[in-house]
């Protein structure tokens, strides 16, 4: 365990002891111990532990010394585990409620019998908390508000929603005269589908004005931390943001470190160590010796070749540059050692998109409006895929209405009004038994069909898997829509065996879509690398229900890049002629 981790556990022990109503002196001893450990250098802590001399330090007694040695030696602490297990987990969770400390929680437990947050909510609503000594109406209100906020603050945020917030901050930071470089790091930069908090790294000569600017932005609900070179804020939406300001020469190291992921960082540090180097957020320096990396930085040795870009940083460790999207500790370092990484798909590679709705079903724009928007994006083609009749909640099309739309599309193309060519398709429901919502004769009149599950989502995994595979085996199925039907941060997907569905899609020459709607991003990027290697073709589908929805392809491209997809893995990077030929070949194979 690092000294920070040890200090963290000691602090937590103090809180848990307080929660149990232990002697305040004992509580304070752990808090003091945590402060002492924090101020030690790692190497110093190492030596003291090894030589059994921890007790020689003021503030660390025999019992504490034994516990620190145990944590250092085993990476755990039996005492802590037992302590934690002896307290109802609901009480520990209550610590997250703003304004509720261990003493108050203890009183609520002893006098109201509260053991968890739902119980506390009920006690507040009944007025029992207000009646307690030392609580009152005001405190009761504050606790209820804290419980509500905890739910909002604890939430993650869609990348799509966090991005504009981050861009505005970044723009503002870069405009400050003190700021030399500024970047967003963390999961936002890695293009994760959801974001815990924003992380900004800034190189600036004078940090104070940068901190002052950052903590006074509109929309900030609370400044949760403010230091000389860092600050944290929480916006009214619950989204939080961390700022770190570093000297120029540390910028690239801080940017790399705080971009993460943690797994990627751990592997990078191991790689550095195997080359006799120590990599950290501060720099790259020779490993070993008593100095901390922070002290060694810039003192010569291999690390003296100070990189100013991540490309140079990777090169110092014998690696090609790794795009942030791939930094998940999933084999990217091995790949970057072996040679250049694949040329990942980019938004500019897309020449059209297939899964789009119009106001014929549940979309908001007309065929012509959608086509016009696609033309403005420079797209060569746009596939229309409105819902089929069983999706009544989405105003799904009957055979007649679908055929009327096909006729409208054919005449729109023939009119020459629009440079973007429309394809006539459908998002056809996969019925509960795996049959499609339209018969063969109807489907045969279309250019393609996206097949999707929209009902009977609670089927057991085996049933759902067989159902979807049956649909994939239908010769009229061109691509499978949203594999799991998940809605990020809102609804789990239905249970389905992705591996078996991928096998079936490859065997039948069926595409699986990467639904690019920012709250879907389904099939998940974690499946794509292996699936594409085995020959699965992807289509990045915006599932647009209005003109603005076409832009969702950007979120889809993010996920595709995280899945190591290259242009050749994605159908809608192909030209109109290539796509037409592909669809024709698929029809002929029936």
Residues lying near Zn ion in the complex (CB under 5 A) are found at 452
**Least CB distance to Ca ion at residue 192 (A):** 9
Residue 262 interacts with, from Zn ion, Ca ion, ligand DGT, none (CB under 5-8 Å by kind): ligand DGT
Q: For residue 513, how many C-alpha atoms fall within 13 Å in the half-sphere facing its CB?
A: 31
Length of the chain: 590
Residue 135 interacts with, from Ca ion, ligand DGT, Zn ion, none (CB under 5-8 Å by kind): none
Q: Residue 15 and residue 30: Cα distance in Å, rounded?
A: 9
CB 245 within 8 A of CB 211: yes
Q: Closest CB to Zn ion among 313 and 426? A: 426
DSSP code at position 423: E
Q: Closest CB to ligand DGT among 327 and 476? A: 327
> Residues 6 or more apart from 439 whose CB is under 8 A from it?
none
Binding flag, residue 186, ligand DGT (CB under 6 A): yes
Residue 473 interacts with, from Ca ion, Zn ion, ligand DGT, none (CB under 5-8 Å by kind): none
Binding flag, residue 549, ligand DGT (CB under 6 A): no
Q: Closest CB to Zn ion among 242 and 543? A: 543
User: Rule CB under 6 A: which of 289-328 touch ligand DGT?
Assistant: none
- Enclosing H/E stretch for 197: strand 197-204
> Residues 6 or more apart from 151 whose CB is under 8 A from it?
none
**Least CB distance to ligand DGT at residue 242 (A):** 7
User: Rule CB under 6 A: which of 251-270 touch ligand DGT?
Assistant: 257-258, 260-262, 265-266
Q: Closest CB to Ca ion among 5 and 440? A: 5
DSSP codes joined into one string, 154-193: T--EEHHHHHHHHHHHHHHHHHSTTEEEEEE-HHHHTT-S
Residue 437 interacts with, from ligand DGT, Zn ion, Ca ion, none (CB under 5-8 Å by kind): none
- C-alpha Rg value of the chain to the nearest Å: 29
**Least CB distance to Ca ion at residue 177 (A):** 26
Q: In angstroms, what CA-CA distances link 376 with 52, 356, 372, 419?
A: 72, 16, 6, 10
Structure tokens of 353? 């998109």
Q: Which stretch binds ligand DGT (CB under 6 A): 79-87, 93-101, 173-181, 187-195?
A: 187-195
Q: How many CB atoms lie within 10 A of CB 498?
A: 18
Structure tokens of 502? 């991928």
Q: Residue count at the site for ligand DGT (CB under 6 A)?
A: 14
CB 190 within 8 A of CB 327: yes
Residue nearest to ligand DGT (CB): 260
Binding flag, residue 199, ligand DGT (CB under 6 A): yes
Q: At what angle do helices 24-39 and 3-19 cross, to 10 degrees?
A: 170
Q: Residue 198 and residue 186: Cα distance in Å, rounded?
A: 7
Structure tokens of 145? 């508000």
Q: Closest CB to Zn ion among 259 and 515? A: 515
**Least CB distance to ligand DGT at residue 266 (A):** 5
Q: Closest CB to Ca ion among 242 and 328? A: 242
Among all chains, which residue has been given the structure tokens 């929805």?
A: 549
Q: Residue 259 and residue 269: Cα distance in Å, rounded?
A: 14
Binding flag, residue 196, ligand DGT (CB under 6 A): yes
Q: In angstroms, what CA-CA distances link 115 with 26, 145, 188?
A: 24, 19, 37
Binding flag, residue 518, ligand DGT (CB under 6 A): no
SS3 label, residue 416: coil
Q: Residue 508 and residue 475: Cα distance in Å, rounded?
A: 8
Q: Closest CB to ligand DGT among 270 and 398? A: 270
**Least CB distance to Zn ion at residue 555 (A):** 16
User: Which residues make up the interface to Ca ion (CB under 5 A)?
Assistant: 186-187, 196-197, 199, 242
Structure tokens of 95? 């610590």
Residue nearest to Zn ion (CB): 452
Q: Closest CB to ligand DGT among 10 and 143? A: 10
Q: Closest CB to ligand DGT among 197 and 546? A: 197
Residue 261 interacts with, from Zn ion, ligand DGT, Ca ion, none (CB under 5-8 Å by kind): ligand DGT
Residue 444 interacts with, from ligand DGT, Zn ion, Ca ion, none (CB under 5-8 Å by kind): none
Cβ burial of 369 (10 Å; 0-12, 13-18, 19+) is middle
Per the DSSP assignment, residues forming a β-bridge with 514 are 540
Q: Closest CB to ligand DGT among 44 and 197? A: 197
**Least CB distance to Zn ion at residue 478 (A):** 14
Q: Convert residues 128-167 into a mask of x (bound to ligand DGT by CB under 6 A) and - (unbound).
A: ----------------------------------------
Q: Closest CB to Ca ion among 150 and 157? A: 157
Binding flag, residue 197, ligand DGT (CB under 6 A): yes
**Least CB distance to ligand DGT at residue 327 (A):** 8
**Least CB distance to Ca ion at residue 182 (A):** 16
Q: Closest CB to ligand DGT among 8 and 286? A: 8
Q: In angstroms, what CA-CA distances link 62 with 30, 32, 466, 499?
A: 12, 14, 63, 55
Binding flag, residue 224, ligand DGT (CB under 6 A): no
Q: Closest CB to ligand DGT among 164 and 177? A: 164
Among all chains, which residue has been given the structure tokens 């056809």?
A: 428
Strand 194-195 to strand 157-158: parallel, antiparallel, or no bridges (unpaired)?
antiparallel
**Least CB distance to ligand DGT at residue 229 (A):** 16
**Least CB distance to ligand DGT at residue 524 (A):** 16
**Least CB distance to Zn ion at residue 430 (A):** 10
Q: Residue 232 and residue 196: Cα distance in Å, rounded?
A: 13
Candidates 476, 432, 471; CA nearest to 454 is: 432
Residue 260 interacts with, from Ca ion, ligand DGT, Zn ion, none (CB under 5-8 Å by kind): ligand DGT
CB 453 within 8 A of CB 495: no
Binding flag, residue 187, ligand DGT (CB under 6 A): yes
Binding site for ligand DGT (CB under 6 A): 186-187, 192, 195-197, 199, 257-258, 260-262, 265-266
């Amino acid at each position: 365990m690092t000294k920070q981790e040890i200090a963290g556990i000691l602090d937590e022990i103090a809180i848990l002891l307080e929660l149990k109503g232990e002697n305040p002196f004992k509580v304070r001893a752990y808090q003091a111990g945590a402060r002492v450990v924090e101020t030690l250098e790692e190497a110093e802590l190492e030596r003291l532990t090894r030589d059994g001399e921890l007790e020689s330090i003021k503030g660390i007694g025999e019992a504490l010394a034994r516990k620190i040695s145990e944590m250092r030696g085993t990476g755990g602490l039996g005492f802590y585990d037992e302590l934690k297990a002896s307290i109802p987990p609901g009480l520990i969770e209550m610590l997250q409620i703003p304004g509720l400390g261990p003493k108050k929680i203890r009183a609520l437990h002893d006098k109201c019998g509260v053991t968890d947050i739902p119980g506390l909510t009920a006690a507040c609503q009944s007025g029992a908390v207000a009646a307690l000594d030392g609580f009152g109406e005001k405190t009761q209100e504050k606790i209820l508000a804290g419980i509500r906020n905890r739910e909002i603050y604890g939430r993650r945020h869609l990348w799509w929603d966090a991005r504009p917030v981050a861009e505005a901050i970044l723009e503002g930071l870069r405009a400050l005269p003190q700021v030399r470089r500024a970047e967003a790091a963390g999961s936002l930069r890695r293009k994760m589908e959801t974001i815990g908090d924003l992380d900004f790294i800034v190189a600036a000569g004078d940090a104070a004005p940068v901190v002052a600017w950052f903590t006074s932005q509109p929309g900030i609900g609370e400044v949760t931390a403010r230091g000389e070179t860092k600050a944290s804020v929480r916006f009214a939406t619950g989204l939080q943001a961390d700022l770190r300001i570093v000297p120029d020469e540390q910028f690239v190291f801080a940017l790399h470190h705080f971009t993460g992921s943690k797994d990627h960082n751990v592997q990078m540090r191991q790689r550095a160590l195997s080359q006799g180097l120590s990599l950290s957020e501060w720099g790259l320096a020779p490993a070993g010796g008593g100095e901390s990396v922070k002290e060694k930085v810039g003192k010569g040795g291999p690390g003296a070749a100070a990189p100013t870009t991540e490309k140079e940083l990777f090169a110092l460790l014998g690696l090609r540059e790794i795009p942030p999207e791939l930094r998940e500790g999933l084999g990217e370092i091995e790949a970057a050692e072996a040679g250049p990484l694949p040329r990942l798909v980019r938004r500019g590679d897309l020449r059209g998109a297939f899964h789009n709705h119009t106001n014929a079903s549940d979309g908001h724009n007309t065929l012509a409006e959608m086509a016009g928007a696609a033309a403005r994006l420079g797209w060569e083609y746009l596939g229309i895929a409105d819902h089929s009749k069983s999706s009544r909640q989405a105003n799904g099309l009957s055979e007649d209405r679908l055929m009327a739309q096909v006729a409208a599309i054919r005449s729109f193309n023939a009119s020459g009004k629009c440079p973007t060519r429309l394809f006539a398709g459908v998002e056809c429901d996969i019925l509960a038994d795996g049959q499609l919502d339209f018969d063969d004769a109807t489907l045969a009149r279309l250019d393609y069909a996206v097949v999707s599950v929209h009902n009977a989502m609670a089927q057991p995994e085996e049933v759902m898997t067989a159902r979807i595979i049956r649909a994939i085996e239908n010769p009229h199925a061109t691509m499978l829509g949203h594999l799991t039907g998940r809605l990020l941060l809102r609804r789990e997907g239905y249970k389905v065996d992705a591996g078996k569905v991928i096998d079936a899609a490859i065997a039948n020459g069926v595409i699986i879509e990467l639904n690019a709607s920012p709250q879907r991003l389904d099939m998940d990027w974690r499946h794509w690398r292996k699936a594409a290697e085995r020959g699965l073709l992807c289509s990045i589908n915006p599932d647009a229900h209005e003109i603005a929805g076409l832009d969702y392809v950007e979120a889809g491209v993010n996920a595709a890049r995280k899945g190591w997809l290259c242009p050749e893995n994605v159908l809608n990077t192909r030209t109109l002629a290539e796509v037409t030929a592909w669809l024709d070949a698929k029809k002929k194979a029936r």
